[in-house]
Amino acid sequence: MTWRRVLIVILIGVFLYSSYELITYYYDAYKNKTTYDDIRKQYEEQLKLEEEQTAPPDANHLPDKDTDSVPDEPAIMDRYLPLLEINKDIVGWISVPDTVIDYPVVQAEDNNYYLRRDIYGERARAGTIFMDYRCKADCSGKHTILYGHHMRNGTMFKDLMKYKNKEFFQNNTLIRFDTLYDEITWEVFSVYITSASFNYIQTSFASDEEYIAFLNTIKEKSMFESSVELSEDDQILTLSTCTYEYDNARFVVHARRVRK
């Protein structure tokens, strides 16, 4: 076999492999979009049903207060019950205004399981939006962290890149991450690009002073200024995804739980 034939065989092999990879990528993207479109539709239908069933109480028929009763344990909202039948690892729902980010969130026993698995636990390049395994699923801890892939087809956490634009940052400060038990609004106060070596995902703090120092650091790193004030009593939410300005770079969005 001459070198020309060898080169032709190599080129054909490269073409076939590239074609396979391309077809597989777009098929996975289509399957992923269909999966989460269906989940989202089911969630929205259940949410609408839940809202219709929730009517203001009749002032003339209010139950008597029992001063000796023990407060009930927080109940899982009805909207999640069908989703929990699909996946018991679901811990909430994340939505960011003016983006496609509108997804269920899961939590596993580590931060690897859902990197390449969808909501059904099946292999998928896009994975699932997931909570750091160290965080408390009900957001009762100081710091809650969610991870998602930066998908080229625009899904998952790709739209976090919009926060690199100052106008978008200023006009989309309020986001929602609801747990199974509570609807929670968060106010964005810092966005930036960083190396994965920077410990922006710290979840344990030895003292209030250490926590405040952490909050000040991540606020100062922001690409844009924010008027949000932070204290040791605040809880924060972090959204994290890959970005490609340099090797091992991350794009990070920090938000403070809106005070009641």
Convert the pLDDT of each residue in 171-181 to its tens digit: 999 999 999 99
The residues, ordered by sequence, that sit 6+ positions from 42 with a Cβ below 8 Å of its Cβ are 82, 83
> What does the pLDDT read at residue 41?
87
Ranges of residues in the chain with a pLDDT under 50 are 20, 59, 61-63, 65, 67, 69
Q: How much is the pLDDT for 29?
A: 66
Evaluate if pTM is beyond 0.75: yes
DSSP, collapsed to helix, strand or coil, labels residue 190 as strand
How confident is the model at residue 30, as a pLDDT?
A: 66
**Distance between CA 209 and CA 226 in Å, rounded?**
21
User: How many Å apart are CA 173 and CA 187, to the nearest integer?
Assistant: 5
| Res 137: pLDDT | 97
Q: Which two tokens stand for residue 25?
A: 């990528």
| pLDDT score, position 193 | 98
Cβ atoms of residues 205 and 193 within 8 Å: no
- Strand pairing report for 236-243 and 143-147: parallel
Q: Which two tokens mark 165?
A: 């634009």
pLDDT tens per residue, range 109-139: 999 999 999 999 999 989 999 999 999 999 9
Domains of the chain in sequence order: 88-257 (2.40.260.10)
Per-residue confidence (pLDDT) for residue 59, from 0 to 100: 47
